[in-house]
Structure 1
Amino acid sequence: MPLDDTKVIIHQTLSVLEDIVENISGESTKSRQICYNSLQESVQVSLALFPAFIHQSDVTDEMLSFFLTLFRGLRVQMGVPFTEQIIQTFLNMFTREQLAESILHEGSTGCRVVEKFLKILQVVVQEPGQVFKPFLPSIIALCMEQVYPIIAERPSPDVKAELFELLFRTLHHNWRYFFKSTVLASVQRGIAEEQMENEPQFSAIMQAFGQSFLQPDIHLFKQNLFYLETLNTKQKLYHKKIFRTSMLFQFVNVLLQVLVHKSHDLLQEEIAIAIYNMASVDFDGFFAAFLPEFLTSCDGVDANQKNVLGRNFKMDRDLPSFTQNVHRLVNDLRYYRLCNDSLPPGTVKL
């Protein structure tokens, strides 16, 4: 049978199957089980066909749509062994070369394929219990070693939002994969001692979030800032030793630079609040070390102006006053730079 005819049959079949699964997904457990039993052979055939069509992005797009609907609606009915088989098949097929081909050379359809694959993994990492935890290292490696290097420097927003949502959900729903509380220590000392695990993966994820704040896409910036703030609210991200000691002020620096450069002015309030939430973890360090270093590194202003900027930043520790100080610092810094840039060459600054 010609390839085009095969594609038509696959398209029609998957379209019908997907509609059936969508319509049954809200029904009772028994109804869903009956539905899956009747579809089981078709699902297995679809999975068997997947590798054969991996280079046909229009077909893989439809196949992944079907499997995404399956994962959302009939995950329990599929059972653990077959679900594991599906995940492993996809992980095996989406090599770095295949991902690059999809993202870089197949246009919007190829990107949609990768996005749907990442959506399936989002469902997987949110699953409670230990069943799919063994896949976490492979999923994180896929994100950070295969997908992220391809899309990191691309101006296009394609795939990025889904990738960072997957990273966020991986952290949010699998916090203990990175931070393990020792109950005994918390009982003995009255505090929850947390042992860091899989530190390189955690650091790589945080670095990717930091890099995303340097890019012009305001929607991605807003999404990722929300994710970090959520992780702090729910999991005390900014208070974790690894973040506090090696990442905290790097993030504050990036966010301040974003405010200074007015690249995301629509989000200036959200950014200022995030800076406050980070700085409040170590106000002493912020005022005594970070702020002087930040001002020292600022170009376009002279030493006297830097001193004025430093003096004008009051050591307030409440949110409204602190954010007001941040906005004043940013506006004054811009003003000084504007004035200095407008002076004729050789002018002596007073």
Structure 2
Amino acid sequence: MTPARPSWADPRRRGWPAELAALAQQVVPAPMWAYLEAGAREGVTRDEAVDAWRAVRLWPRVLHGTGEPDTRGEVLGAPVRTPVGVAPTSMQRVVHPDGELAMAAGAAAAGALHVVSSNAGHRFSDIGEAARAVDPDAVWWLQAYLPPDREAATPVLRAAAAAGARAVALTVDTPFPGTKYEPAEEDWQGHDLSWHRANFADARAARHHRGLRPEDLAWITETCGLPTVVKGVVRADDARRCVEAGAAGVWVSNHGGRQLDRTISTATALPAVVAAVGHEAEVYVDGGVRSGLDALAALGLGARAVLVGRPPVHALAVAGARGVQALLETLTEELSEALELAGCSRLEQAQGLGAPPDL
């Protein structure tokens, strides 16, 4: 018997994401909560993210005889049942003992893309097994940083590929972690953090390359055989350079407002990136998505998939794998309703809803 969906996971209830966050705050250790919710410096970019999606206005279609929409789609040729996926976050074992294993199982149950942080607290082989135990065709990617000596990343990239990852999402907006006013090291006393880079031989080794270049994209694919997606792009000219360097996808992201404060919102950046490269590469987006309407806005502006960061961690903390599944299914139900009301029977018909129609 399928367990009952948690009471907060009801798309008919206004404010359920805030309710979920409040429940998570009750069970997540205080330093982890501060770490998770922190934004860079004054938090301007973090705080603008949600309202930026709410500011997008839609242009629905009528008389298209749509009926019940189909939320199934593909990412880099791999089928998913929803375009709403899980963005990478580290330290998941602090909020739930099963960490990425439960996140993988929940995403697989919802038929969603799961992007695993390179700083995961479980081995990639175990994460892959947790996903396949639920769905043999589960789709997950590795999020990666390149260290100063990129060759040091070779075992990590190859381990992810061997475990079933379908792509590598290279984070390019982090030459070093931006300043955040978050807990000091002493606040973490009593929490075992020694495992949070379980896939590295030396968990304390430097992990950020301060001089990434376009040629690093091809090196990743040559090293592990997986397509490379570039995560952390907000400029159309940078997106163009990524595609010219061989990127299979461009991920519009400002790192959840955790890097350079006062960076443009992803909702604002997305249309120009899509216009520049959307005809050649898949475009994804994250940052402040909290509802199916937000997801429709992103699709309407040209995104192929929409990744959600903090809410899946909230759901993981409150209800483990079942919570993650319930979150993704609730967002997808909201999206399905919004698609039908917008006159769309398929995801690709949503493209263009976020801009005035050609007259």
TM-score, L = length of structure 1: 0.25
Indicate the structure whose relative CO is greater, using CA pairs within 8 Å and at least 6 residues apart.
Answer: 2
Question: Which protein has the bigger helix share?
Answer: 1
TM-score, L = length of structure 2: 0.25
